[in-house]
Amino acid sequence: MFIQTLITEPIHFFRIIVIVILSITLHELAHGWAAMSQGDNTPQKTGHLTLNPVVHMGKESLIFLCLTGIAWGQMPVNPSKFRSAKLGNILVSAAGPLANLALGILFILLLKLFFNPNLTGLVSLEFLYLAAQINLSLFMFNLLPIPPLDGFHVFSEIFPQLKPLQYTQFGLFALMLLFIIPDFGIGLSSFADLVIQLATGM
């Protein structure tokens, strides 16, 4: 399990923990700010406009992250308050993945600006590369048209015939299938690697 990395590669373990917590927190905040911009003050009323990862992820998610390297977050929104139900749902849903894309681009730029192979420690060349890789992977993963992922909410507004899938076990089954296919995660990381290498010339 991922927790074994704490013993074999402790620096790598803490790098992943820090990056995933930061990435999910900003992902959920992006949903919240987008909802606020669409007229829904639920994120503010529930106290979710905060940088506190416990609020966004919960203790269960943080524990699961340390054990398995997998985590999740949640931002409470009320689509009925959106000024435009269709556009609002698309914008709010897309905001999270786009935040991860922005973070991925930011870390790629930092790689190009501060490339120094001699840097060591928690924040180093490896840290910046891993942060870019994780955020690009999160961007691609969350845009999959599978409930309850953000991509499903975006695509189901564009293709309403997908909406009934939200109330079935399809999403759970599809996600379980993806997680037990080792090549899926490797494929996401490999594509992220390709993007980073093309962008940085590394």
For the whole model, what pTM was predicted?
A: 0.92
Average the pLDDT over 79-94 and give the result: 96
Place of tokens 């910046």: 128
**Tokens standing for residue 28:** 């959920």
Average the pLDDT over 123-142 and give the result: 93
**Mean pLDDT in the chain?**
92
What is the C-alpha separation between 194 and 183, in angstroms, rounded? Answer: 16
Q: Which of 17-21, 24-28, 82-86, 116-120 has the lowest mean pLDDT?
A: 116-120
- The model's confidence at residue 67, banded by pLDDT at 50, 70 and 90, is very high
Q: Which residues are part of the catalytic machinery?
A: 28
pLDDT at position 120 over 60 = no
Long-range contacts of 175-178, Cβ-Cβ distance < 8 Å, separation of 24 or more:
175/146, 175/149, 178/146
Q: Which of 69-73, 144-148, 154-158, 173-177 has the lowest mean pLDDT?
A: 173-177
Cβ-proximal residues to 34 (8 Å cutoff; 6+ apart), any chain:
91, 92, 94, 95
The boundaries of the domain holding residue 113 are: 2-200
| Number of structural domains the chain divides into | 1
pLDDT given for residue 117 in this prediction: 59
Q: pLDDT digits over 157-202, tens only?
A: 999 988 888 888 888 888 888 888 878 888 999 999 999 999 987 7
